[in-house]
Structure 1
């Protein structure tokens, strides 16, 4: 086995970033219950879940942007100064694509984020509490706007076969955010730790992007003064499909903490948020193997190199599943060894719902990989699946939160994936036969 080829530049930087998250994530997960009350922990994770409403600003645009940038960059490369070299028409198209992306992102941010702040305010204000959450929520919302703009720029650059470089930037931003969080938590800043750490990371991310890619950004900016392209017409037929999938994804993954907060209280919301954070961390680490090959898969699809695409995909999926399974074993072994410890007492979901959540995320990992494969061809065949799945999870979770004991909150989540995974696999197999 060629280990040097497997553990390449993209993998190393992605692994470093995710390993940092693997270390820093549990550290924060420990610090949060140490320095926050159970009620404040509920507000903490509700902030994070409410901010996920930013999906209505993105609506899949970042994924579409990465896809289109990959198809253009398939004909280009970077020189030593990080300027683009290759066919002038593709450089020109990339320039106009970036310009369109930044205008789109700015417009969506101005529309969506004020609405997110207001919705969050009314939900958070629905509970009587002594927690000072109003100003932290405002700062958190403003920082989320900057994070969103940064994410669009990073998706564009990542599409230019720069997974490793982008993961390095994400690593630096994460280090800054985590350090600020730790310092402020220990200082007793409570929810301000979450808000100001996000703001610090967002501003750092903007600075790093402008510094490291100033040559390319300057090159593309000059070209936008001379060229134009009707990207709206080209992107919209695909974007609306991505948007439905992305919005449905919010209901599948992000409604549990706000519903727990509304129907069961801040303590239960903290348990849900804490448990989801652990499963999302396992997902992110396992998904390294898919993340590092995504631009390559897009480029193979652009060149119709099915053999290379399938080979990379099969290897990535196998490694991702194995990594997640190892994470599940480690999680439940650790909980068994720490049973009764005050650090985790009443901080995590009970064993059965936690198992349901972790299995659901494993199935999400597999579905996500198949979706990325099909989207590489600038197709989105999972619109109906995503919408029905989102509606099913939203309705069943709302009913469970309102009428069933807390332990059954995730029954709709897990049962949805049991139904959807075979359906997606059938669509995937049919898609492959048509594409080959």
Structure 2
């Protein structure tokens, strides 16, 4: 039995980083279901409205990161590939040591300054929004909970680049393990807080304590290494203006294009097919995003290794590892999608209920569900190719991403207006499949061009 499990583990390419990252995704998905049940049971209708609207407004903070954390991982991995870790010190080429130190200095200064702006922006937007739009006479204690949430979100924003830096050092498995602990603690705090009647306070409190758990484990394990890097004499810097920004703005635009695609589905469906279908889309998207995050762990955990091979010009090892990882992640995605479809089928077939409500009615009908599954599978493939190319510290997918986003938005609005959910999902499926072909052309062309130029 052990031998069979070992062979399956090797075939799927499950290493420590993937195992902990995947387990974290599974816990997050399962915990989300429990959280939904508790929120529905323990908060009244008005409080539920505040609870979920809080999350929507807090999402604006991601626009201040705009791909920079991913770039930090890649740049650190490129420089560290020329260094050796001896005890708690990195040794090797003085230029690479200096550039790594400059990246840490930049990370600390940039995000520290930006975090102050993020905090006051979140605080201000929340107070203006809720004071202006909440007109009911029902009294809701939301002011202090919003302050707590703003603090927790800002702390998460502040610590995230340090985590990215450590991942760039090759500590992906270790960070995944710490995140798993944080995820578990945050969920327990959230559930306990709801159970004892903390209501809207639970989000902010669990977020803040979760950050402190993260900080405790990270600095307990890596404080000396980070301090030694930070104190390294800087003779040569990684320039934000000439090296990071030319890549970041392209990735940022690509990311924004993708972000607005998914934000349009629900409001358009709400207007065309009503809130029930919009809710079905939201629930379906939650599951599909969980599957995508799970399968993409195979690719994302390899970013430091891909970047290291590229820095060393070892393209044979790079392509061998990527091809293997790509096949494994695609297989996991396909199997998970199939499993998701079968689970929904059996839930409907056996008429499973949750809190006296039919669970099968919470998802899209079979045909639009199938369209969305195909689209997300195509997105997985496109995303994997994009990661490979971006590890070269270049962004050739900019035009592709912007065109993909623009056409998807137009398709969602126009087809949704005339044909509702079938129009939205079929149009998106056609566009994603077509753009996967374009993405392969870019991937194949640029890979050959760059590797030939660098030999």
Look up the match of 2:28.
21
TM-score, normalising length from structure 1?
0.86
Is this contact kept in 2: 1:59–1:243, CA < 8 A? yes
Match of 1:88 in 2: 94
Q: Distance in 2 between matches of 1:258 and 1:44?
A: 18
Alignment check: 8 A CA contact 1:287 1:320 kept: yes
Q: Which runs of 5+ in 1 are unaligned?
A: none
- Residue ranges of structure 2 left out of the alignment (5+ in a row): 1-6
Counterpart for residue 60 of structure 2: 53
Cα distance in 1 between the residues matched to 2:396 and 2:405: 15
Q: Contact 2:95 / 2:236 at 8 angstroms: preserved in 1? A: no
Matches within 5 A, 1:396-415: 396-398=411-413, 405=420, 410=425, 413-415=428-430
Change (3 A) 1:236 1:202: same
Deviation, 1:57, is 0.6
Find the aligned partners of 1:411 and 1:34 in 2 and give their Cα distance: 35
8 Å contact kept, 1:46–1:258: no
Partner of 2:219: 210
Instruction: Provide the aligned C-alpha RMSD in A.
Output: 3.3
Pick one of 422, 427, 430 that aligns with 2:442: 427
* TM-superposed deviation, 1:365: 1.1
State the alpha-carbon separation in 2 of the partners of residues 43 and 327 from structure 1: 33
**CA 1:241–1:196: 2 relative to 1, 3 Å:** same
Q: Deviation at 1:257?
A: 4.9
Query: What is the count of residue pairs matched by the alignment?
Result: 434
Using the TM superposition, give the Cα deviation of residue 171 of structure 1 relative to its aligned residue in structure 2, in angstroms: 0.8
Q: Is the 8 A contact 1:181 1:197 kept in 2?
A: yes
Q: TM-score, normalised by structure 2?
A: 0.83
- Given candidates 61, 64, 71, the residue that maps to 2:71 is 64
Equivalent in the alignment of 2:323: 314
Where in structure 2 are the equivalents of 1:251-330 lying within 5 Å? 251-257=260-266, 270-330=279-339
Higher-Rg structure is 2
Equivalent residues in 2 for 1:30-429, closer than 5 Å: 30-35=37-42, 44-81=51-88, 83-112=89-118, 114-116=120-122, 126=133, 132=140, 134-135=142-143, 136-223=145-232, 227=235, 229=237, 231-233=239-241, 234-257=243-266, 270-339=279-348, 340-343=351-354, 344=359, 347-398=362-413, 405=420, 410=425, 413-429=428-444
Q: Residue 39 of structure 1 contacts residue 267 of structure 1 at CA under 8 Å; is this kept in 2? A: no
Distance (Å, rounded) in 2 between the aligned partners of 1:416 and 1:41: 35
Q: Distance in 2 between matches of 1:244 and 1:199?
A: 30
* Equivalent-residue separation in structure 2 for 1:80 and 1:46 (angstroms): 47
